[in-house]
Amino acid sequence: MSLPNLHTDPTLTMVGWSYQLTKPCPAVSTFGKLGENVVRTLVISKDEVITVVAGPFNGARLVDIEWDAKPYIMFTEHLRNCGRRLGIAT
């Protein structure tokens, strides 16, 4: 079994990258005062910068992102349609 090439495998290319949103984009939060496993949806505004911290892996439809120092989940397709890749997050 060979390991995926991180530079060419399309399922791994979003991890570690920052994106600037070119239009408002929906996201999901599962943290906060209401307790764990409480799902809340929100829209992240245009021009905000988010960082992909995990996924998509093996065809998953969601990526884990960080925005405003908090974790969220976003559909991969939404990010592709709403975001412009800036570069590797520091």
pLDDT tens string, the chain, 90 residues long: the values are 444 444 445 545 778 889 999 999 999 987 766 566 677 889 999 999 999 998 765 566 888 999 999 999 999 889 989 999 997 876
Identify the structural domains of the chain with CATH numbers, from first to last: 17-88 (2.30.30.40)
Residue 18: count other Cβ atoms within 10 Å of its Cβ. 18
pTM exceeding the 0.85 threshold for the entire prediction: no
pLDDT recorded at residue 4: 42
Whole-number Cα distances in Å, 70 to 28, 49, 51, 63, 64: 11, 12, 10, 14, 11
